[in-house]
Structures are given as structure tokens and as C-alpha cells.
Chains A and B, each alone.
Chain A
Amino acid sequence: EIVLTQSPGTLSLSPGERATLSCRASETVSNNYLAWYQHKPGQAPRLLIYGASSRATGIPDRFSGSGSGADFTLTISRLGPEDFAVYYCQQYVGSPPITFGQGTRLEIK
């Protein structure tokens, strides 16, 4: 099972700033099968990025994903007030089990 470790656990930033979230895998994530989700309380999770760097339908271009192998990054170039949420990475290599990181909480400073 691939274990995903996200850092930092909590990130405190102001609107307009740049956010950089990290996701490190316990082994190589083949084919860059790595996704990022945004999750707000009481709402359904929202797919942001798949394939490490492809934006999902309707996702603003201020969200970008990068990385390969075992190290991946989600960058939000200019934080809007609606971007404060919990972010999860997820790997989907081969057959289950599918695993998620423990999440990074992005909070308003």
C-alpha cells in the first residue's frame, strides 16, 4: 500500500498570497496517478487535479499541480477567500487499495 504524507498539516496564509502544498509518497507513483481534492465542511469533495498536473473540468487556472515519482505539489497562485479548505492528495496506481493523504488545512491568517 502506498502511504501519502502531506505537509504542512496546517498552512496559514492571507488572501492574495501563494499557497504551496506538498504530498510525498512512500514509493514511486506510477504514471503520475496522483490527484488533489478540495474539501469544505458539509460539502462534497471537489476534484482539482488528476494525473499530477491536469486540471479537472471547471477548475480555475490559479490551481496547478506538479511533480513526479514520489514528490508532488499543489500550488494555488493567488488565494481567494473561497480557497480556504482542507486539501487531500490521492494515489490511484493499479488496483486498490486507493489511498489518500491525511490532508492539509489551509486557513486564513
Chain B
Amino acid sequence: EVHLVESGGGLVQPGGSLRLSCAASGFTFSTYAMTWVRQAPGKGLEWVSAISGDGVYTYYADSVKGRFITSRDNSEITLYLQMNSLRAEDTAVYYCAKNLRNGMATYDYWGQGTLVTVSS
């Protein structure tokens, strides 16, 4: 059974940094692209970033480009999101999600999410 478990969220001051992790199990992690999606309080879902199965290719929303870095360790079966220069508008629940299949950026498994709060 597929499981995705996010961790690393918390309270951080504006301008600070945080690293989220997503531990995966139940599937061949290295063969699937992975994605981060967030939901700000009272708002809808927003795509944040994606990474190819081999980690070579990464993609970012304009709202986080240059500040966030997505990476993965296929030997540790873990996805990461390094968030720098955090802003109040980055406050959200962050979900990691598994792509349904390669070449198809729709997501069949999601974690429960981890809350990031950016506030002084």
C-alpha cells in the first residue's frame, strides 16, 4: 500500500528557511515523478513544484521560483522541499503527491500534509 508522510512544517519568521520531507513507501519511488501542492488557509489547491523520477528535472511555480528547491533521495525514498526567503503568503498546508504515471501530471496518492506558518 502506498504511503506518503510529510514532516518538517512549523512556525518560521518572514525571510527564514524550512525544509520539508516526504517519506514514501509502497511503490518503486525512483520510477515516479513527485509533486508538491499547497493550500493556503481558506484557499484552493496550488501546484508548487515537481521533480522527475531520476531527480534530473525540476519545475516550479512562478510564485516560488528562485526561493524553493525540490530534491529527492531515491536511496532514502524521500522527497524534499527546501523553502528559503519565506513570505507570509507561503503560509499553507503543503502536500506531497505521487504522479499517476510518467508523462501524466495527475496525482493518485497524497500525503496528509504539513502546515507551514510564516509569521513574526
Distance in Å: Cβ of B63 to nearest Cβ of chain A: 10
Residue of A nearest to B4 (CB): A44
Q: Is the CB of B100 within 8 A of A47?
A: yes
A44-B106 contact, Cβ under 8 Å, with A96-B47, A96-B50, A100-B45: no
Distance in Å: Cβ of B97 to nearest Cβ of chain A: 8
Inter-chain CA distance A39–B107, complex, in Å, is 13
Distance in Å: Cβ of A34 to nearest Cβ of chain B: 9
Inter-chain CA distance A33–B12, complex, in Å, is 37
* A102 cross-chain contacts in B, Cβ below 8 A: 44
Q: Is the CB of B108 within 8 A of A44?
A: no
Q: Is the CB of A98 within 8 A of B112?
A: no
Inter-chain CA distance A47–B2, complex, in Å, is 14
Inter-chain CA distance A102–B42, complex, in Å, is 11
Cβ of A84 within 8 Å of any chain B Cβ, yes or no, is no
**Chain B residues touching A, range:** 20 to 34
Question: B104 contacts which of A45, A50, A95, A97 (Cβ < 8 Å)?
Answer: A50
Cβ of B59 within 8 Å of any chain A Cβ, yes or no, is yes
Q: In residues 1-58 of chain A, which contact B (Cβ within 8 Å)?
A: 33, 35, 37, 39, 43-47, 50, 56-57
Cβ of B76 within 8 Å of any chain A Cβ, yes or no, is no
Q: Is the CB of A103 within 8 A of B62?
A: no
A45-B45 contact, Cβ under 8 Å, with A50-B100, A92-B105, A96-B105: yes
* B61 cross-chain contacts in A, Cβ below 8 A: 96-97
**21 contacting pairs across A/B (C-beta < 8 A):** A33-B104, A33-B106, A37-B45, A43-B112, A44-B110, A45-B110, A47-B107, A50-B104, A56-B100, A56-B108, A57-B108, A90-B45, A90-B106, A92-B104, A92-B106, A97-B47, A97-B61, A98-B35, A99-B47, A100-B47, A101-B44
| Other A-B pairs beyond A96-B47, A100-B44, 6, CB < 8 Å | A33-B106, A50-B100, A86-B44, A92-B106, A96-B105, A100-B46
Hey, which bits of chain B sit against chain A, CB under 8 A? 35, 37, 44-47, 50, 59-62, 95, 97, 100, 104-113
